[in-house]
Amino acid sequence: MNRINKLFQEKQNNILSIYFTAGHPTSESVVPIITELEKQGANLIEIGMPFSDPMADGPVIQQSSQVALANGMSLKKLIGDLSEIRQSVKIPLILMGYLNTVMQYGVEKFCKDIAEIGIDGVILPDMHLEVYEEEYQSIFEKYGILPVFLISPNTTEDRIRKTESLSKGFIYAVSSSSTTGAKVGFSDENEAYFKRIHDMNLSIPTLIGFGISNKTTFTQVCKYQSGGIIGSAFIKAVDGSEKPEEKIADFIKTII
Q: Which CATH number fits the domain that encloses residue 205?
A: 3.20.20.70
- Is 199 catalytic? The answer is no
Contact 57, 179 (CB under 8 A): yes
Annotated catalytic residue: which of 57, 81, 113, 245?
57
Annotated catalytic residue: which of 10, 28, 36, 46?
46
Total number of domains in the chain: 1
User: If the chain, 256 residues long, is cut into consecutive pieces of 10 residues, what is the mean pLDDT of each piece?
Assistant: 97 97 97 98 97 74 94 97 98 97 97 98 96 98 98 96 97 77 73 95 96 94 96 96 96 95
Cβ-proximal residues to 239 (8 Å cutoff; 6+ apart), any chain = 24, 25, 64
Residue 124: what residue type?
Answer: L
Q: What is the pTM of this model?
A: 0.95
Peptide bond into 25 cis (omega under 30): yes
Question: Cα–Cα distance between 65 and 140 in angstroms, integer?
Answer: 25
pLDDT of residue 181: 46
In 3D space, the residue among 84, 83, 66, 86 whose CA is nearest the CA of residue 23 turns out to be 66
pLDDT of residue 64: 95
Strands (E), 43-155: 44-48, 93-96, 121-123, 146-148, 150-151
What domain range includes position 51? 3-253
- Is 46 catalytic? The answer is yes
pLDDT of residue 53: 73
Annotate 177-188 with DSSP letters as a single string.
SS-S-B-S---H
